[in-house]
Structure 1
Amino acid sequence: MPSPRPPRSGARRSEAAAARPDRQMAILLAAEKLFAQRGYHGVTIREIAEEAGVPLALVGYYYGPKHELFHAIFVHWQATAEQRLSLLDEVIQSPKKSDRLRQVVEAFVRPVLAQRASAEGEYYAQLVGRELSRRTPETQRVLEEFFDPLAHRFIDALHATRPGCDRTRVAWSYQFALGALLHHISDHRMPTLSRGQAPSMDPAAGDLLVDFITAGVGALLPVSRTPRPRAPSSSTPRRQP
């Protein structure tokens, strides 16, 4: 009687190879790159699999449907939001009161610029600048889960620097600041507009952006001052005792 054949070790090896963590990350990075370049609706799952160099079925195995893969990108980068909030907490807890508005703006801007300048964060920054301005079910979920809480924290911090202003005005100032930041990290026209004198994403532009946002927010949210009582005019007749 012939002995039973052993299980095919090659099949087991291929299954293990298909589930490698590096493939899971390759899928995430491929999706991030293609979404940043072409937009969420301009990319198919098949194209993501080809970019990642993995079988098509493996994308669904790790991430499920396309909208869950999109969501997973923002989960992966949540540490950047936490870094911004950590810097904001340092500003709030600092005993130094002078220049508080600029410190809040620094916490708002600097981590994003550092991320955009890194090889790892370039496509994510482009993705945020491109996709989150569009109102779709996919972006709405991301905004509500990751970005709205962040926005409220920064609006609260801005409001604390200008307590005499109403929250609506503070929220508008945040929106204008956000627009400047998102445009800066996604724009590539500076070499053309400067006639070759400035590269795209010039590191020196970070200071200019902080100056611009600080001045703009400061103009929209003036420091409230309690008016002093006017001194009596010399021409005002004095009351006789």
Structure 2
Amino acid sequence: MKSVSSQSKAAPEPEVASTETAPPGTAPKRGRPAQRRRAGPGRPEGVSNVRDEILDAAEIEFANLGYAGTSLRNVAEAAQVTQALINYYFGSKYGLFEEVFLRRGRQIADDRMQRLEELRRSGKPPAVADIVRAFLMPALSMRSTAAGRTFMRLQARLHTEPPEISYKLRNEAYETSTRLFAEALRDALPHLSEKDVYWRMTLMIGAYLYAFSDTHRLEEMAPGIVNPDDPEEILKAITSFVTAGMLAPAP
């Protein structure tokens, strides 16, 4: 038998009660992570990434119910695991919420910074519209999947969460990328003060959060006229709106 590494010994798994005798017609909740078994080359047989499944289930619950309205019991039932297993992986409800938000928030931020760097490497000063598109495209691309749309709702809801929850997560995910874009816009908009640029950045963020969050309000107001599910239509509408606002004269 292979020896167990010192790292795995440092964080022993909890003894979680088995639920092998689940009621008929229901899937048993998972306690300890399943033993991995290989039947040859390829992925282990009978193994799923339980940790990611918990995150996926929690993302939906937090997006629908908010932080206060979501309980670990909700998440455990949705993911078909025990609450003890959630605590083992994430420590607490806040630890779970933090990882749910940061796994996609950081992805958006990294994509934004990469797009901005590509603009700068082009050899000419980036146009305002290009900077705006580079900022918006990562979130719009994420919205193309069901999980991404759920995250857009979660992100919009984050702005209504208590400051002790929302400020830390927003800063950790987006502080660096947002400041880089503010600097790029200041260079592209020399007629604006730093205060004006940050106000317009804030208004851009508010516009895209609402437009991307699937509130269905637009379909109700203009049925058959607009198509919020068309990414090209969304990008064209919000980019032209935000760019015009950025280029407006200083107050």
TM range (shorter): 0.7 to 0.9
Aligned to 1:140: 167
Query: Following superposition of structure 1 onto structure 2, how do residues 159-174 of structure 1 map, counting pairs within 5 Å?
Result: 159-174=186-201
Equivalent in the alignment of 1:237: none
Matched residue, 2:202: 175
Aligned to 1:17: 34
What residue in structure 1 maps to residue 245 of structure 2? 216
Alpha-carbon offset, residue 195 of structure 1: 2.8
Instruction: Give unmatched runs, 5+ long, in structure 2.
Output: 1-17, 19-29, 37-46
Amino acid at match of 2:80: G
State whether structure 2 residue 194 is matched by structure 1 residue 185.
no
Equivalent-residue separation in structure 2 for 1:115 and 1:209 (angstroms): 16
2:102 paired with 1:75:
yes
In the TM superposition, 1:23-102 aligns within 5 A as 23-77=50-104, 78-97=106-125, 100-102=127-129
Q: Does 1:196 find its partner at 2:221?
A: no
SS at match of 2:195: helix
Change (3 A) 1:38 1:213: same
Deviating beyond 6 angstroms after TM superposition, the runs of 4 or more aligned structure 1 residues are: none
Contact 1:28–1:73 (8 Å) recurs in 2 = yes
CA distance in 2, matches of 1:66, 1:117: 28
Matched, 1:108 2:125: no
Is the CA contact 2:33–2:50 (under 8 Å) kept in the aligned structure 1? no
Larger Rg: 1
CA deviations on 1:47-74 (whole Å, 9 max, x unpaired) are 0000111112111010011111111113
> Structure 1 residues 112, 170: CA separation in 2 closer, same or farther (over 3 Å shift)?
same
Do the aligned residues in 1 keep the contact of 2:191 with 2:249 (CA within 8 Å)? Answer: no
Question: Which TM-score applies when normalising by structure 2?
Answer: 0.77
Please name the residue that 2:25 is paired with. Answer: none
Structure 1: distance between partners of 2:58 and 2:107: 19
Following TM superposition, by how much is the alpha carbon of 1:185 offset from its aligned partner in structure 2, in angstroms?
A: 0.9
* Contact kept in structure 2, 1:109 and 1:181, CA below 8 Å: yes
Identity %: 30
| One of 153, 158, 164 as aligned partner of 1:131 | 158
CA contact (8 A) 2:31 2:85 kept: no
Q: Distance in 1 between matches of 2:149 and 2:77?
A: 21
The CA deviation at 1:192 is: 0.9
User: Does 1:119 pair with 2:136?
Assistant: no
Q: Deviations over 1:122-178 (max 9, x none)?
A: 211111111134442111110221122222111111101013421001100101111
| Aligned-residue CA RMSD (Å) | 2.3
- Once the two structures are superposed, residues 170-204 of structure 1 have per-residue CA deviations (whole angstroms, 9 ceiling, x without a partner) of 10010111111101011311211103333443321
SS in 2 for 1:80: helix
Alpha-carbon distance between aligned partners in 1 of 2:116 and 2:122, rounded to the nearest angstrom = 10
Q: Distance in 2 between matches of 1:67 and 1:166?
A: 38
Write the distance in 2 (CA, Å) between the matches of 1:218 and 1:129. Answer: 26
Q: Secondary structure at the match of 2:49?
A: helix
- Are 2:32 and 2:85, in contact at CA under 8 Å, matched by a contact in 1? no
